[in-house]
Amino acid sequence: MMELDINSCLKDFEELSEEFKTLSASHKDYITKLEALGNLQSKCMKELNHQRYRLGVIKKSMKTVKKKPDEKTVVEELEKKMLHRKVQLQEMEEALPKMNGLYLRIILGNVNVSILNKDDKFKYKDEYEKFKFIINGIGLIISVINLIANSRVLDLIFMFLLVWYYCTLTIRESILKVNGSRVKGWWRVHHFISTVLSGVLLIWPNNSVYYQFRNQFMWFNVYISFVQFLQFRYQRGCLYRLRALGERHNMDITIEGFHSWMWRGLSFLLPFLFLGYLCQLYNAYVLYQLSYHPEATWQVPVLSALFFTVFFGNMVTTMMVIPQKLREKVKLKERFVAIDKYLRGHHRENSDTPIPTPPIPSTSQGQESFSEPTSEPDKKQQ
């Protein structure tokens, strides 16, 4: 009986070994292709940098060269072609790996965090928004409980959650940045400062000064969680609409439609944001007053300064968003019209060339990056 079992095991293993030969061949093929892919990526990156460098040189020369009046159309045509090339290079770059920033290199090492597929990029950003939404929900629940109950343990759990949350955001945002997100530097700095702020709150001794600020802080968190919810709806709305835009083909309608939706969303959100900033200023003011209290420890003036910094940075950055969005729309339209005219003009000259898909913005609003044209119209001209 025992011998029979061993024999059947041996037979099974031999059968498996035959299958292993197929696996081994597939794996070898995979490694070869992986190496080829790595080489192709390096080659493309090198050539792309070369293109950028030479475009820069040509641009510089065009500035210094004396233009004759009869050369005006030639210059315009060349400018449009260069603009189109810039767009093409940006598009290509999206599918190539990028170097990590300093922060990611320090905490993760030189691991590759580039997401090369548009769908995966979208999913990662969507997941980031969902993550913020869920943690904010948890934060809201804990702050409401904290307002009802007075538990030091729960207070500490809440502060620890904040430290972890903001720290995680800085990492996720750095990964988003590597993958082409146009998140402004301030929002990333804001999350670094918020990590420090939550850390200082965590180590603030629970003396009478702490209890004079505690309830105000919990109410502040309830309000901020509500604002974050509104922000989540707006950001997710932008993300999904821009993705839908990328699949449609009428740029004039889509840009107009998106911008009118965005302005409605922003005008609704902005008053709540500014009220939140006033709350941050009020926190800074109350903490400043408390810093003169005889029992005040060093955490009190530090927190006051941090709240003030966050208030100031948020206020200035958010106020700058409005004129920036106005400029962006004009720039995007001008740019589209220039490229679209160029592409269509070129199509008329080469009626056998299919009309390329008009360039459409990708996941970031106003991002000067466009979806892949279905054909490369100027290939023949080169």
Name the segment binding ligand COA (CB under 6 A); options: 103-111, 160-168, 234-242, 337-345.
234-242
Q: Take residue 217 and report the two structure tokens written for it.
A: 């802080």
- 41 or 364: whose CB is closer to ligand COA? 364
Residue identified by tokens 């804990």 is 142
CA 359 to CA 87: how far, in whole Å? Answer: 9
Annotate each residue in 318-357 with x if it binds ligand COA (CB under 6 A) or - if it does not, as one string: x--x------------------------------------
Q: Does 298 bind ligand COA (CB under 6 A)?
A: no
Nearest approach, Cβ of 88 to ligand COA (angstroms)? 20
Nearest approach, Cβ of 19 to ligand COA (angstroms)? 45
Name the segment binding ligand COA (CB under 6 A); options: 139-147, 152-160, 175-183, 345-353.
175-183
Nearest approach, Cβ of 209 to ligand COA (angstroms)? 24
Q: Take residue 119 and report the two structure tokens written for it.
A: 């769908």
- 81 or 325: whose CB is closer to ligand COA? 325
Name the segment binding ligand COA (CB under 6 A); options: 17-25, 89-97, 147-155, 228-236.
228-236
Counting Cα atoms < 13 Å in the Cβ hemisphere of 292 gives 4
CA 329 to CA 331: how far, in whole Å? Answer: 5
Indicate which single residue of 291, 314, 369, 371 sits in contact with ligand COA (rule: CB under 6 A).
314
Q: Take residue 180 and report the two structure tokens written for it.
A: 């082409």
Positions 272 through 291 that interact with ligand COA (CB under 6 A): 273, 276
Indicate which single residue of 55, 144, 227, 305 sits in contact with ligand COA (rule: CB under 6 A).
227
- 235 or 254: whose CB is closer to ligand COA? 235
Query: What's the burial of 288, exposed, middle or buried (CB within 10 Å: 0-12/13-18/19+)?
Result: middle
Residue 194 · residue 166 · CB < 8 Å: yes
Name residue 361's beta-bridge partners.
370
| DSSP structure string for 318-374 | HHHHHHHHHHHHHHHHHHHHHHHHHHHHHHHHTTTSPPPPPP-B-SSTT-S-BPPPS
CA 339 to chain centre: 26
Number of residues located near ligand COA, criterion CB under 6 A: 24
Binding site for ligand COA (CB under 6 A): 125, 176, 181-184, 187, 224, 227, 231, 234-235, 238, 269, 273, 276, 314, 318, 321, 363-367
